[in-house]
Structure 1
Amino acid sequence: MKSLTAKALALLAIDTLLVLAFAAIGRRSHEESSALVGVLVTAWPFLAGIAVGWLISITTFGAVPGTVRHGIPVWLSAVVVGMYLRDLTGRGIAASFVVVALVVLGAFLLGWRALAGWLNRWEGPGHA
């Protein structure tokens, strides 16, 4: 596998920041500390999930997951692996939380890709 380029690292950083935001928002909505350590404790299963999703996308599509199509494995892995690791470590996986994670992480992890794709088409060749 080729080494990650600066662009790929930037895209991975976006996914990472959005998962951290998801964890911080969740902690705040449950009146838990939003200190970095607490956010990381909440986020790590989902961060592991995006890592798995990136590997799946790169090996399946041969490209970094910068599009919505290539980002779907990242989103689904974030949720599935994240929930599995939460359950494995005794953190629990209520059905309502699974739904919230699917919706919010879908909006976050696929939303920025959709916006980027739209902007690339809008600002493509022939547009000043």
Structure 2
Amino acid sequence: MPSRTNPRPVRPAARNAVLLAALADAVLILAFAAIGRDAHQRGDVIIGVFLTAWPFLAGAAIAWLAMRLWRAPLRIWPAGVTVWLGAVVLGMALRAVTGQTVVLPFIVVALLSLGTFLVGYRLIVAGFRRLAGRRQHS
């Protein structure tokens, strides 16, 4: 009979980091959709934002699951880059198969905006962690 090992329990701090990272990703993707809709003066604010955001949210969720990003959700690589590219690539694919607009300027804007948002906050977190580590060793 093969030996079974129990997975290590997830520490509360690690669980909080996973929840906060997932929430931050979702909120930033929703912000991207809201900013885009506002820039193009489209109606149906709340429903419209969700209609615009859902493919990107689904792409990010698939990236989280496929790469098991809960293991290190705040790392720039692979978490930040994977969520960013998953949101854009899979999000655009989902938009295309559901008949939503996918044009080159929108792809470029999504790459730049979501990259800034999803990788950017992880860069900030990494900077704060580095500063905190230096202070502890001083």
What's the TM-score once normalised by structure 2's chain length? Answer: 0.83
The structure 1 segments of at least 4 consecutive aligned residues displaced by more than 4 Å after TM superposition are 1-4
> Which segments of 5 or more consecutive residues in structure 2 lack a partner in the other structure?
1-6
Residue from 63, 71, 74 that aligns with 1:63:
71
Provide the rounded CA distance (Å) in 1 between the counterparts of 2:29 and 2:104: 19
Provide the rounded CA distance (Å) in 1 between the counterparts of 2:16 and 2:107: 33
Per the TM alignment, residue 62 of structure 1 is displaced from its structure 2 partner at its CA by: 7.2
> Which segments of 5 or more consecutive residues in structure 1 lack a partner in the other structure?
none
RMSD: 2.0
- Give the aligned length: 125
Residue from 24, 29, 44 that aligns with 1:19:
29
Query: In structure 2, the residue corresponding to 1:123 is in which secondary structure?
Result: helix
For residues 90-109 of structure 1, give each alpha carbon's deviation from its aligned partner in whole angstroms, at most 9, with x where no partner exists: 11210011011000000000
Q: Which has the larger radius of gyration?
A: 2
What's the TM-score once normalised by structure 1's chain length? Answer: 0.89
Q: Percent identity?
A: 42
Provide the rounded CA distance (Å) in 2 between the counterparts of 1:25 and 1:62: 28
Provide the rounded CA distance (Å) in 2 between the counterparts of 1:111 and 1:11: 12
Residue from 106, 128, 133 that aligns with 1:119:
128
The answer to whether residue 42 in structure 2 is matched with residue 32 in structure 1 is yes
